[in-house]
Amino acid sequence: MAATAASPIPPFPRDFLWGVATSAHQIEGAAAERGACVWDAFTAVPGNVKDGTTAAVACDHYHRYREDVALVRGLGVGAYRFSVSWPRVLPTGAGPVNAAGLDFYDRLVDELCAAGVRPVPTLFHWDTPLAVQEAGGWLSRDTAERFAAYAAVVAARIGDRVTKWITLNEPAEHTLLGHALGEHAPGRRLLFDALPAAHHQLLAHGLAVRALRAAGARDVGIANSHGPTWPASAADEDTEAAGLYDVLLNRLFADPLLLGRYPDGFGELMPSDDLAADLDVISEPLDWYGINFYQPTKVGAPLPHPTEYSGLTLPPELPFAPRRIEGYPVTDFGWPVVPDALPELLTAFRDRYGDRLPPLVITENGCSYEGLDDQERIAYLDGHLRALHRALEAGVDVRGYFVWSLMDNFEWAEGYRRRFGLVHIDYATLERTPKASYHWLREVLRAQRA
């Protein structure tokens, strides 16, 4: 703490957008007051969540949102990124609206506006309505149309006060973890046969962009996860494996969105009678592009046994295998802390996409550590903010930064074993306690405004 106090974070632009982020399924609770989603079915199966928990209560944000907005306001950020639960608004994914669900987001947006905090809703953060999943889920083209209709419903209700929108969160992870490896809901293990889920999410994004703009939205983006890929060695088999992994993580979603085409060899694998027409929808111009950044990945040739990586077990039949990155501290999740990888990533995006790349926003960045006196999180955020500033100095157009997460929450297949929050949640009492990192960030932001 003393070291960071002696060396202030360099000043960011005056109009730089500072925020914190959460997602509906991870914090809202009130499961009985919404429709069922794929995560309800997934967590009901013993062994799918490592601590055997569910998000039925989570942080009970649905009932305690005023307390949580007060924490956002007290932090001094300008924006709050949250997600809208599709099954809370449309319990079966289509058809009749749940008025109480829409009312909740209406109240939340009002509370944020009254607190002087900009609401930034994400329309999809992995909680597909169970009825939609049973009708084919993201493997079905119809889901993209249903999603666009849902986007229109939400925009009609809160679009008069929301000026910044996110369509999807991390479609790459939802495809890989939920449909290829079965480690997340809906638990499908399709490997490369999961690619239709990628295409239909991208199509849903494009259709939602059109629906939002038809409702008057003028500041629309998406949140994709990206990170540098480092070959395990200079050997051909390692560089080829790393190249394929890099395409899957960094280009399979960004290329269609920004260039209107899939990377070589992938377009013909997508389920479409008219791929060019689909890509025209997918590549609707964005006002900004969101990047969720956590870590780089070292990748080599496949190994003859399952690989443990970031809490996942990767099967040996994959054409690549992650390797441990040595020489860096790691979070409680085992993720390497490499702040310099952030400007490496951002400058690579600038160089690859050129004038097709809209302004960037870091829509997630954070780490898992235990304890209220979370000096490791302070060091992590300090290092990444300085690294981000170096990217700005290098000419990358970055307009905002959101910390993941405002509060500890249900961390998907990890349950409540990982704590990413600036605010500690006592899951027995639901008491909120700001951590040392909350107070540190508040002072950083105060200095930025000075």
Which amino acids are annotated as binding site, given as ranges?
A: 26, 125, 169, 294, 404, 411-412
Residue 49 in contact with residue 140, Cβ under 8 Å? Answer: no
Q: Any bridge partners for residue 330, and if so which?
A: 336
The reply to whether 364 belongs to the active site is yes
What does the buried/exposed string (b/e) look like for 58-87 if buried means 16 or more CB atoms within 10 Å of the residue's CB? bbbbbebbeebbebbbebbbbbbbbbbbbb
Among 28, 170, 284, 376, the one annotated catalytic: 170
Give the residue carrying structure tokens 């209107």: 260
Q: Please list the alpha-helical segments (H only) found in 301-340.
A: none
Instruction: Give the Cβ contact number of residue 114 at 10 Å.
Output: 11
Q: Tokens for 398, please give them.
A: 């970055």
Max Cα distance, the chain (Å): 61
State the sign of the Cα–Cα–Cα–Cα dihedral 19, 410, 135, 36: negative
Q: Which two tokens stand for residue 277?
A: 């027409």
Burial of 229: CB neighbours in 10 Å, binned 0-12, 13-18, 19+: buried
* Strands across the sheet containing 229-231: 229-231, 297-300, 321-323
Binding region for substrate: 26, 125, 169, 294, 404, 411-412
- Whether the Cβ atoms of residue 347 and residue 396 lie closer than 8 Å to each other: yes
| Positive or negative: CA dihedral 348, 350, 356, 358 | positive
Torsion of CA 431, 435, 441, 447, to 10 degrees: 100
Query: Of 28, 111, 284, 364, which is the active-site residue?
Result: 364
129 in Cβ contact with 87 (< 8 Å): yes
For the question of residue 237 being annotated catalytic, the response is: no
Which amino acids are annotated catalytic?
A: 170, 364
